[in-house]
Every structure is written in structure tokens, then in C-alpha cells.
């Protein structure tokens, strides 16, 4: 199996000397830290709901776990959490953080998401923002392998950027190699791997950006007591809806979530 050259990209990126590693892992480099935190807490919230809704055991396999932020935040909801990542710096960071907090049910290994082989079966397999780094021919084997690692009744949670609307997929080959596929492509592969698929857009980024814009506006207009701000506040739900629709008209990659059973 081949990964894109993205493995090299990630091994280097994880060694960034200054940035918060979660900003590196989430590619939110240019976002102000407050928006980044807002986006991440919403995204972690989606997985949190999935874990909370489960009634039986919660053993989690997290492929491409990055610096372990999701594992650390959701540790209290998991019986065990095994994360794999190709970047040793991320794995080292995740291990240190788990050890510092005494979370010894969280384990992290350096390894490729392709060809993972564990005796254990898992209730939730997490593929958070990683499928774009997989070549087309490796996607189906990866999903079949995920299916093979599921315990009865288990689910796979996928978050991935896709190209909306009428625009074609994009494959970047330069220093940051990634595939931005169409959602329909993923659905077809997931079904072929034997999954029942549900999907939902992840608007965390849009909503966090708009909320921040509103907060900035509040500071500015709030002091002057301008009616414009009060009107804008009333229109807030409408502007969220409008922003969602407008995004679909652009060729920009959009975050999508899938739950596979």
C-alpha cells in the first residue's frame, strides 16, 4: 500500500517549534487561537455525542490521532483509546500528556493507518481528517480494515473535507499533497466496504468564524448603542443559514462527517 507523500509532510510539520500542535494537526495555522479553540471544541463535541450515546463498552481506535487532543478530551468517556499516527512528535506529545494526567487507558503508537492490525476489536473507530492523505486505490482496503476491527454494533466516525456542489475533486501534489474528493466518492467506497452510511455537514469552522465576527461587532457597535448591531443580532440565525448556503456555491473544501455502521 502507498500513502501519498503526505507522510513526509506530517512528520516534518509535527516538529514545528512554536505552534500549538493541535493547530498544526487541524491545519488551522492562520486562525486566531480563539476561533481555532471554538472550532475544535465543536468538532470534538460531535464525537463526544457518539460516545455518550453508546450504551455498551467504549473501546476506541483512532487512526491518524495527531497529538492526541481528541483522546485526551474524551478520555473520561472511553474504556480504552488506541491512537496511531505516522508522526513520532505527535505520538510523543500524546503519550506525555496522557502520562501527566494519569490516563493510562490511553495508548499511542507510531504507525501507518494503512495496514493496522490489532487482535482487539473496537466499538468506535475514528478517522478524523485523514482520508485525504490516502491514495484512491488504498481507500477501500483501509475501510475494509476498519470494518474488520469493529466489535459487533461498533461504528466508524469519519470527518473529512470534500468539494461541494458542482465542482470537481482536487488533488494537490506539491509540498502539501492531499485529495479533496467529492462526498459521493466516499459514500460509494464506504458502501462497498459494507457500511450503512449517514452523513452530516460539519459547520464548526463557519459558525466559529461568524460568532467571532459577531463578538467583534458587539465590541464595536455595542458601545455606541447603534441600532445596526441590534438588527444584526436579530438576523444572526438568518446569517448563519445564509453563510451555509453561500459556502455550497464556492469550490472551497467543506468539512463533512460520516457515521458508518
Ligand X SMILES: C[S@@+](CC[C@H](N)C(=O)[O-])C[C@H]1O[C@@H](n2cnc3c(N)ncnc32)[C@H](O)[C@@H]1O
Q: Which is nearer to ligand X, 98 or 130 (CB)?
A: 130
Residue 65 C-beta: closest distance to ligand X, Å: 6
- Grid coordinates standing for 102? 494519569
Q: Which is nearer to ligand X, 60 or 210 (CB)?
A: 60
Residue 142 C-beta: closest distance to ligand X, Å: 9
Residues that bind ligand X (CB under 6 A): 3, 6-7, 10, 25-27, 64-66, 69, 84-87, 90, 112-114, 128-130, 133
Residue 210 C-beta: closest distance to ligand X, Å: 22
Query: Rounded distance, CA 172 to CA 186, Å?
Result: 18
Q: Which is nearer to ligand X, 129 or 253 (CB)?
A: 129
Q: Which is nearer to ligand X, 25 or 197 (CB)?
A: 25
Q: Which residues pair with 157 in a beta bridge?
A: 126, 259
Residue 96 C-beta: closest distance to ligand X, Å: 16
Q: Which is nearer to ligand X, 128 or 229 (CB)?
A: 128
Cβ–Cβ < 8 Å for 70, 77:
no
Alpha helix ranges (H) inside 81-200: 88-100, 136-148, 183-192
Query: Rounded distance, CA 90 to CA 21, Å?
Result: 8
Residue 220 C-beta: closest distance to ligand X, Å: 33
Q: Which residue has the cell 490511553?
A: 106
Cβ–Cβ < 8 Å for 63, 116:
yes
Amino acid at each position: 500500500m502507498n500513502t501519498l507523500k503526505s507522510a513526509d509532510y506530517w512528520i516534518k510539520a509535527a516538529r514545528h517549534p512554536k505552534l500549538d500542535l493541535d493547530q498544526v494537526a487541524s491545519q488551522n495555522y492562520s486562525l486566531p487561537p480563539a476561533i481555532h479553540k471554538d472550532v475544535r471544541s465543536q468538532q470534538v463535541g460531535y464525537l463526544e455525542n457518539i460516545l455518550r450515546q453508546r450504551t455498551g463498552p467504549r473501546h476506541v481506535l483512532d487512526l491518524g490521532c495527531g497529538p492526541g487532543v481528541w483522546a485526551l478530551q474524551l478520555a473520561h468517556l472511553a474504556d480504552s483509546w488506541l491512537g496511531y499516527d505516522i508522526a513520532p512528535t505527535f505520538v510523543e506529545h500524546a503519550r506525555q500528556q496522557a502520562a501527566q494526567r494519569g490516563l493510562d487507558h490511553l495508548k499511542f503508537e507510531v504507525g501507518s493507518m494503512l495496514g493496522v492490525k490489532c487482535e482487539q476489536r473496537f466499538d468506535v473507530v475514528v478517522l478524523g481528517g485523514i482520508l485525504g492523505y490516502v491514495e484512491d486505490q488504498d481507500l477501500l482496503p483501509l475501510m475494509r480494515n476498519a470494518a474488520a476491527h469493529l466489535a459487533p454494533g461498533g461504528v466508524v466516525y469519519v470527518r473529512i473535507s470534500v468539494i461541494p456542489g458542482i465542482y470537481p475533486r482536487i488533488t494537490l501534489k506539491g509540498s502539501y499533497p492531499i485529495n479533496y474528493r467529492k462526498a459521493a466518492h466516499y459514500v460509494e467506497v464506504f458502501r462497498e466496504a459494507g457500511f450503512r452510511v449517514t452523513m452530516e455537514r460539519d459547520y464548526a469552522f463557519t459558525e466559529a468564524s461568524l460568532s467571532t465576527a459577531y463578538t467583534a461587532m458587539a465590541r464595536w457597535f455595542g458601545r455606541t448603542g447603534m441600532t445596526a448591531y441590534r438588527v444584526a443580532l436579530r438576523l444572526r440565525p438568518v446569517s448563519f443559514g445564509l453563510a451555509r448556503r453561500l459556502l455550497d456555491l464556492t469550490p472551497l473544501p467543506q468539512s463533512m462527517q460520516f457515521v458508518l455502521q
